[in-house]
């Protein structure tokens, strides 16, 4: 659901040198979280997260539209803090994680919608079903990281995924069809390698 990381492209909106080329940034997984929530019978909100994921982020400060993000989620790392529910969500009734262990997001378009906000459009693939998805990306900080002493960017990303679009319609409408996905992360400029 989430390659939500795409949002990071947001950084590109903020000042950059002329003729800048896209620059790679690495995700600091110790300061990142990919989570989701959905309504349960109107009585409560169920929370969960994906513990394992990978993202490839390129940021072009001069021309944000040249930025890009690709995100891969390990569906088997799903955790709702209740083992029986996790096993059910990973079963063929929902994600069918044994057959489709990965979900992906690949950006196709980046637009600035506010001073520190981007809209990132792309393709979200779950269970080999690909649908368009739009991420709202808020740039929370950008500059030199006070501890790492290197360029860094922070952001908060949100999107809503309709699970029935991906063949997961069990218990709809009693259990919410719309799943809100949130991604918070820090990134650091990738070290140059020779």
Rounded Cα gap, residues 169 and 56, in angstroms: 31
Cα torsion angle, 187, 8, 153, 156, sign: negative
CA 135 to chain CA centroid, Å, is 8
What per-residue string of b and e applies to 81-106 under the rule 16 or more CB within 10 Å gives b? eeeeebeebbeeebbbbeebebbbbb
Cβ partners under 8 Å of residue 147, min gap 6? none
Give the pLDDT confidence of 71-87 residue by residue, as tens digits: 999 999 999 999 999 99
pTM: 0.86
Contact indicator for 26, 187 with CB cutoff of 8 Å: yes
In the chain, where are the structural domains located? 4-15+23-189
CATH number for the segment(s) 4-15+23-189 = 2.40.128.110
The pLDDT of residue 75 is: 98
The pLDDT of residue 131 is: 98
């Amino acid at each position: 659901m989430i390659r939500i990381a795409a949002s990071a492209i947001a950084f590109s909106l903020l000042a950059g040198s002329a003729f800048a080329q896209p620059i790679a940034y690495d995700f600091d997984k110790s300061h990142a979280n990919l989570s989701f929530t959905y309504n349960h019978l109107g009585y409560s909100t169920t929370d969960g997260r994906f513990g394992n994921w990978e993202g490839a982020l390129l940021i072009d400060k001069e021309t944000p539209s040249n930025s890009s993000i690709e995100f891969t989620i390990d569906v088997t790392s799903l955790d709702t803090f209740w083992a029986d529910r996790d096993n059910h969500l990973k079963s063929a009734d929902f994600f069918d994680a044994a057959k489709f262990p990965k979900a992906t997001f690949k950006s196709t378009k980046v637009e600035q919608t506010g001073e520190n906000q981007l809209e990132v459009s792309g393709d979200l693939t779950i269970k080999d079903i690909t649908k368009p998805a739009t991420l709202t990306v808020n740039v929370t900080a950008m500059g030199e990281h006070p501890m790492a002493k290197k360029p860094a960017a922070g952001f908060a990303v949100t999107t809503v995924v309709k699970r029935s679009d991906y063949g997961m319609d069990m218990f709809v409408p009693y259990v919410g069809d719309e799943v809100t996905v949130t991604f918070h992360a820090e990134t650091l400029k990738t070290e140059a390698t020779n």
